[in-house]
């Protein structure tokens, strides 16, 4: 077991503190044992010993082993094992106490000098190694074994018990001395520290010490053969390094190098478990950068990424040793305080972090001042589980945003969450991890001809107790929580993967998904869309992002910038639930909207009165005049479908046309409808056709009218509650071009005449 300060900074213990007294006593005792070993060595032919190549070979291997500890996945340097123990214990068996103790002490001192460790750390390491090896030497002497520098000893099979007892003596002393230091350093009970470290440390020391007799046998043969141990050591180091690299990639954010959500949850769980054993508080801080999107929109993502790295570095260097800074995604960070005195101390940390972030940052010759909103929650006062702790820190963070105070503690009276809502969020978090989410698909059809114009994916949650839940049952709650980003990512990846599968099968239809208000505030949304397009080899024209009219009306400042960024990628923008909120014609044109979806509330009243018909007719005339496709949602009867067709509506969706189905059923439906007589067969994308780069549209080759897919459009890029009878949902949907050839549609949205085949 190694120095208790290996995983933290070299902070000198306060003079007179229990840790200072303990380290001083151990260091004094150990240095006394070391001095005794040097005296013995000086009287036993030191010059003859130094002339032996074998001594230098073992010393070299010991130094290499001390400088390169073997760190395994999930463990820190403090828990690591060092191959120096194997070679120094072998020196103890072969040459005795007088050689082994100075060798291990000098090895530890050399490592401390190279790593620039503090003097008190080097002294403690030398002392505890000397005491442990001294105990092992005493055990061997008690068993009648006393190796001498000039009279080496090589054990045979009958003396392995003595070797085992000596190894046990070394481990007990070393483990006890270091564990007490760790407990005093971390201010944890000594028994708890022993229980936590014993299993792994016993295994590591067993492996390292059991190899020492093999080294001794080789030492009795040749110094050259001893050097061959470098090969298996190199293999061990390489294997451990690859394992650590894979673990690091899985548990750390690729951009900032900070722990990711998975590692944060793991360490928070460990902190809460420790808090039950040791009465103490755990603090959790959730940080969201204010107006960070303006940087991305103005200077681009490379500058935004650099800014995130700088902020992550500042956060990591502004917390206490042992605190954990993580990046959850986008511009959202979290800080875990495994041990915090009270709410005032946690708030003090939050204020310090906010001040560190607010320091001006110079990039690209410009100075940026970034502010953050921070929510703070404590265990056990505010929450008893990781999910609740994160949820309540999220509540406090949004309270800080609303009040513009910067930092807010969680307050029960300000939390609008009910126990049922919190329970639902906990179930949803576990449901995401267990793969309980799935997508259903509802096709959309051209009113002129009845051919597919795309599909809409509707999120479903197969709850283990409550059965299949529709989006309206959980999305409104999720949209107000930290889980929204995970749900959106699931919908994007799943819908894109299915769209790519249909493309490969020759059933290419555009896919759309809804973007919630919280999605539009996420600086990482456009990056998610762009990377998913590349991952699944889809064109920007293959997807449609649907944005609710209510979201744009309620959050014009944040939403407009995000929509412009998404449109620059080349994806189609659809205006959802049109007619339910105020929207200006200027906004429709400024946001490059290619499609408008008319609210089911308007469509359902189409036949109720001449006034209602006039409203729908006016909307259709308006979007047609602007060159925008029209989609009618919630078409529930053949009469309404006929009326819409007569009014010149392009595309419709509803139960009368097709119910939502799983992916396999939709595949069969598309196969039948896309290959129906009277229309062209769908095409596979030519092998040479490249994906459009961000900001570029997808140019369709001239003369390829027969293969042009229906233009993408749909109900959206994220997860939301649907206004129709299908409930709410993250809806990904393909939108088709209109039915009326006389409509002044734009060139890129023109519908091939072949798609206007008559007949249902």
Query: What's the CATH code of the domain at 213?
Result: 1.10.1760.20
**Pairing relation of β-strands 629-632 and 595-598?**
parallel
Average pLDDT over residues 199-211: 87
2 lies in some domain: no
pLDDT 10s digits, 217-262: 888 887 788 888 878 877 877 877 787 788 778 889 988 999 998 8
CB-based contacts of 458: which residues, under 8 Å, 6+ apart? 439, 440, 441, 442, 470, 471, 660, 722, 726, 727, 729, 730, 731
How far CA 58 is from CA of 101, 104, 147, 423, 593, in Å, comes to 13, 11, 16, 61, 74
Average pLDDT over residues 323-342: 91
Instruction: For residue 317, give the nearest of 272, 258, 370 by alpha carbon.
Output: 258
299 lies in some domain: yes
How far CA 373 is from CA of 261, 352, 404, in Å, comes to 19, 12, 8
Q: Name the domain count of the chain.
A: 3
Cis peptide before 591 (omega within 30 of 0): no
Distance (Å, rounded) from C-alpha 456 to C-alpha 260?
32
708 lies in some domain: no
User: What CATH number is attached to the domain comprising 575?
Assistant: 3.20.20.450
Average pLDDT of the chain, as a whole number: 78
Q: Taking a C-beta distance cutoff of 8 angstroms, is the pair 471, 459 a contact?
A: yes
Distance (Å, rounded) from C-alpha 213 to C-alpha 373?
60
Distance (Å, rounded) from C-alpha 465 to C-alpha 461?
11
Q: Report pLDDT for 490.
A: 92
Q: Report pLDDT for 242.
A: 82
Q: Report pLDDT for 559.
A: 65
339 lies in some domain: yes
Distance (Å, rounded) from C-alpha 310 to C-alpha 400?
23
Instruction: For residue 395, give the nearest of 415, 412, 420 by alpha carbon.
Output: 415
pLDDT band at residue 717 using 50, 70 and 90 as cut-offs? very low
CB-based contacts of 99: which residues, under 8 Å, 6+ apart? 41, 49, 55, 91, 92, 149
Instruction: For residue 541, give the nearest of 734, 670, 297, 729 by alpha carbon.
Output: 734
Together in a domain, 393 and 274? yes
Cα first-last separation, the chain: 77
- What length does the chain have? 760
Q: Taking a C-beta distance cutoff of 8 angstroms, is the pair 433, 486 a contact?
A: no
Average pLDDT over residues 682-689: 39
pLDDT 10s digits, 69-103: 777 666 666 667 788 888 889 989 999 888 888 88
Asked whether the predicted pLDDT for residue 172 surpasses 90, the reply is yes
Phi-psi region of 435 (alpha: psi -120 to 50; beta: other; left: phi over 0): left
pLDDT band at residue 418 using 50, 70 and 90 as cut-offs? low
CB-based contacts of 408: which residues, under 8 Å, 6+ apart? 374, 375, 376, 396, 397, 399, 400
pLDDT band at residue 554 using 50, 70 and 90 as cut-offs? low
Average pLDDT over residues 21-34: 90
Residues of 211-237 as b/e, b for ≥16 C-beta within 10 angstroms? bbbebbbbbeeeeeebeebeeebeeeb
Together in a domain, 314 and 458? no
Asked whether the predicted pLDDT for residue 131 surpasses 90, the reply is yes
Asked whether the predicted pLDDT for residue 704 surpasses 70, the reply is no
Q: Report pLDDT for 473.
A: 87
Together in a domain, 521 and 649? yes
Point out the domain boundary residue: 226, 250, 274.
250
Residue with the bigger pLDDT between 13 and 534: it is 534
Most confident of 285-289, 727-731, 754-758: 285-289
Average pLDDT over residues 108-135: 86
Together in a domain, 246 and 265? no
Together in a domain, 593 and 634? yes
Together in a domain, 381 and 393? yes
Q: Taking a C-beta distance cutoff of 8 angstroms, is the pair 455, 511 a contact?
A: yes
Together in a domain, 244 and 273? no
| Angle between helices 84-95 and 212-219 in degrees, nearest 10 | 50
How big is the chain by its Cα radius of gyration, in Å?
Answer: 34
Average pLDDT over residues 47-63: 84
Together in a domain, 193 and 227? yes
Point out the domain boundary residue: 210, 229, 250.
250
Together in a domain, 629 and 531? yes
Q: Report pLDDT for 305.
A: 86
Burial of 40 (0-12, 13-18, 19+ CB in 10 A): middle
Together in a domain, 182 and 279? no
Average pLDDT over residues 496-525: 84
Q: Which of 366-375, 594-603, 682-691 is predicted least confidently?
A: 682-691
At 228, list the tokens: 């061959």
Instruction: For residue 406, give the nearest of 285, 490, 294 by alpha carbon.
Output: 285
- For residue 562, the enclosing domain spans 438-682+714-756
Residues forming a β-bridge with 374: 287, 407
7 lies in some domain: no
SS3 for 202?
helix
Name the strand (E) or helix (H) holding 600.
helix 600-603
Together in a domain, 382 and 468? no
SS3 for 253?
coil
Which DSSP state fits 711? P
Point out the domain boundary residue: 235, 250, 265.
250
Q: Give the distance between the most distant pair of CA atoms in the chain.
A: 115
Q: Taking a C-beta distance cutoff of 8 angstroms, is the pair 715, 574 a contact?
A: yes
Which DSSP state fits 570? T
What percent of the chain lies above the pLDDT cut of 70?
81
Residues forming a β-bridge with 546: 514, 574
Together in a domain, 246 and 258? no
At 190, list the tokens: 């000594």
What percent of the chain lies above the pLDDT cut of 90?
19
CB-based contacts of 570: which residues, under 8 Å, 6+ apart? 539, 540, 541, 692, 693, 694, 695, 696, 697, 698
Q: Taking a C-beta distance cutoff of 8 angstroms, is the pair 1, 128 a contact?
A: no
pLDDT band at residue 335 using 50, 70 and 90 as cut-offs? very high
SS3 for 457?
strand
9 lies in some domain: no
Distance (Å, rounded) from C-alpha 697 to C-alpha 571?
8
Q: Report pLDDT for 586.
A: 60
CB-based contacts of 559: which residues, under 8 Å, 6+ apart? 517, 520, 547, 551, 552
Instruction: For residue 597, give the nearest of 635, 556, 636 by alpha carbon.
Output: 635
User: What CATH number is attached to the domain comprising 280?
Assistant: 3.30.70.270
690 lies in some domain: no
Distance (Å, rounded) from C-alpha 83 to C-alpha 65?
4
Q: Report pLDDT for 439.
A: 93
Residue holding tokens 């094992």? 81
Residue with the bigger pLDDT between 519 and 752: it is 519
Residue holding tokens 């999605």? 519
Q: Report pLDDT for 742.
A: 32
707 lies in some domain: no
At residue 364, φ and ψ (nearest 5 deg) are 50, 35
Q: Which of 74-83, 402-411, 603-612, 642-651 is predicted least confidently?
A: 74-83
């Amino acid at each position: 077991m190694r120095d208790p300060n290996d995983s933290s900074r070299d902070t000198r213990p306060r003079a007179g503190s229990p840790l200072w007294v303990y380290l001083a006593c151990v260091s004094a005792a150990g240095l006394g044992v070391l001095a005794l070993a040097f005296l013995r060595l000086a009287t036993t032919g030191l010059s003859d010993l130094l002339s032996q190549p074998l001594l230098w070979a073992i010393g070299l291997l010991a130094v290499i082993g001390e400088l390169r500890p073997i760190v395994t996945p999930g463990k820190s340097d403090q828990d690591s094992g060092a191959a120096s123990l194997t070679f120094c214990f072998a020196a103890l068996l072969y040459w005795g106490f007088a050689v082994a103790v100075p060798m291990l002490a000098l090895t530890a001192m050399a490592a401390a000098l190279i790593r620039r460790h503090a003097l008190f750390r080097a002294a403690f390491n030398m002392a505890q190694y000397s005491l442990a090896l001294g105990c092992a030497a005493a055990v061997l002497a008690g068993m009648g074994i006393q190796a001498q520098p000039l009279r080496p000893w090589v054990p045979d099979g009958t003396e392995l018990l003595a070797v085992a007892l000596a190894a046990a003596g070394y481990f007990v002393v070393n483990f006890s001395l270091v564990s007490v230091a760790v407990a005093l350093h971390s201010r944890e009970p000594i028994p708890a520290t022993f229980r936590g470290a014993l299993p792994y440390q016993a295994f590591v020391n067993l492996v390292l010490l059991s190899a020492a007799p093999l080294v001794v046998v080789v030492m009795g043969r040749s110094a050259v053969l001893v050097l061959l141990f470098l090969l298996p050591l190199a293999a061990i180091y390489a294997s451990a390094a690859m394992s650590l690299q894979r673990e690091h990639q899985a548990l750390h954010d690729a951009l900032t190098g900070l722990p990711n959500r998975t590692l944060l949850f793991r360490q928070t769980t460990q902190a809460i478990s420790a808090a039950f054993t040791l009465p103490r508080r755990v603090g959790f801080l959730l940080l969201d950068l204010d107006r960070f999107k303006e940087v991305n929109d103005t200077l681009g993502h490379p500058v935004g990424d650099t800014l995130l790295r700088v902020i992550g570095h500042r956060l990591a260097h502004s917390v206490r040793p042992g605190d954990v800074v993580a990046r959850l995604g986008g511009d959202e960070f979290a800080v875990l305080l495994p041990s915090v005195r009270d709410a005032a101390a946690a708030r003090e940390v939050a204020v310090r972090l906010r001040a560190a972030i607010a320091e001006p940052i110079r990039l690209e010759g410009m100075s940026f001042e970034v502010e953050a909103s921070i929510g703070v929650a404590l265990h056990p006062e505010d929450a008893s589980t990781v999910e609740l702790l994160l949820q309540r820190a999220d509540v406090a963070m949004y309270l800080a945003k609303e009040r513009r105070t910067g930092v807010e503690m969680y307050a029960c009276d300000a939390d609008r969450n009910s126990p049922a809502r919190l329970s639902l969020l906990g179930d949803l978090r576990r449901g995401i991890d267990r793969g309980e989410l799935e997508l259903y698909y509802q096709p959309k059809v051209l009113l002129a001809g009845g051919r597919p114009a795309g599909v809409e994916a509707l999120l479903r949650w197969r709850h283990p107790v409550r059965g299949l839940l529709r989006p309206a049952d959980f999305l409104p709650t999720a949209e107000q929580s930290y889980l929204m980003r995970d749900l959106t990512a699931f919908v994007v990846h799943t819908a894109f993967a299915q769209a790519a599968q249909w493309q490969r099968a020759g059933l290419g239809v555009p896919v759309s998904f809804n973007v919630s208000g919280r999605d539009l505030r996420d600086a990482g949304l456009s990056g998610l869309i762009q990377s998913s397009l590349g991952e699944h080899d889809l064109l920007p024209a293959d997807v449609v992002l649907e944005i609710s009219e209510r979201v744009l009306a309620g959050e014009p400042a944040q939403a407009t910038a995000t929509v412009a960024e998404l449109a620059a990628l080349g994806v189609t923008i659809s205006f959802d639930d049109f007619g339910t909120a105020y929207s200006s014609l200027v906004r429709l044109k400024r946001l490059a909207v290619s499609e408008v979806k008319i609210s089911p509330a308007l469509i359902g009243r189409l036949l109720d009165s001449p006034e209602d018909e006039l409203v729908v007719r006016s909307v259709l005339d308006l979007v047609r005049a602007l060159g925008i496709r029209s989609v009618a949602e919630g078409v529930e009867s053949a009469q309404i479908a006929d009326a819409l067709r007569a009014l010149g509506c392009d595309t419709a969706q509803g139960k009368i046309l097709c119910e939502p189905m799983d992916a396999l059923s939709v595949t069969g439906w598309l196969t039948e409808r896309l290959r129906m007589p009277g229309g062209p067969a769908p095409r596979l994308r030519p092998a040479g056709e490249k994906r459009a780069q961000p900001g570029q549209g997808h140019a369709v080759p001239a003369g390829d009218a027969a293969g042009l897919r229906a233009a993408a459009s749909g109900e959206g890029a994220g997860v939301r509650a649907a206004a129709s009878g299908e409930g709410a949902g993250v809806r990904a949907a393909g939108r088709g071009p209109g039915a009326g050839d006389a409509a002044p549609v734009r060139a890129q949205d023109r519908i091939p005449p072949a798609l206007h085949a008559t007949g249902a």
